[in-house]
Amino acid sequence: MRIGELARSAGVTTKAVRYYESVGLLDAERLPNGYRDYDEYDVRLVREVRSLATLGIKVEQAKPFLECLVSGRDKGDDCAAPLVVYRSVIEELDERIADLSSRRESVAVALAEAERRSS
């Protein structure tokens, strides 16, 4: 299938497919006329990248999940390497939550002081 068909089947843009190729997540066969040629498995890989994105996993972090699928596993996280990515994402989220909690507390203190002064 051509790039437009892959994009439609996977629910992404052709620009996204080209980006996935540029970062090494997809490797399309080339037809004699130079067109990219994809198969249903490529649709599966692109859908996996989209699914990971909904979890906050960046495209650049998706490779271990796809490598796991390519190795024959049923799920992209059935290998050890994707678990490392999950842990890293959780750590990043914990840091962001801590930062936001701290900022929220600072704003709450500022609000309380402003309300006290305006009474």
Residue 61 confidence (pLDDT): 96
Q: Using an 8 Å Cβ cutoff, are 38 and 6 in contact?
A: yes
Q: Any idea what the CATH number is for the domain that residue 44 is in?
A: 1.10.1660.10
Residue 34 confidence (pLDDT): 87
Q: Is the pLDDT of residue 58 over 90?
A: yes
Question: What would the two tokens of residue 28 be?
Answer: 């399309």
Distance CA 79, CA 43 (A): 21
Distance CA 61, CA 94 (A): 18
Q: Using an 8 Å Cβ cutoff, are 59 and 53 in contact?
A: yes
Residue 69 confidence (pLDDT): 96
Q: What's the rounded mean pLDDT across residues 79-84?
A: 98
One-letter identity of residue 33? N
Query: In the predicted model, what is the mean pLDDT of the chain?
Result: 95
**% of the chain surpassing 70 pLDDT:** 100
| Cut 0.95: pTM above it | no
Structural domain boundaries, residue 45: 3-118
Q: What's the number of domains the chain is made of? A: 1
Question: What would the two tokens of residue 89 be?
Answer: 């994402």
The model's confidence at residue 28, banded by pLDDT at 50, 70 and 90, is confident
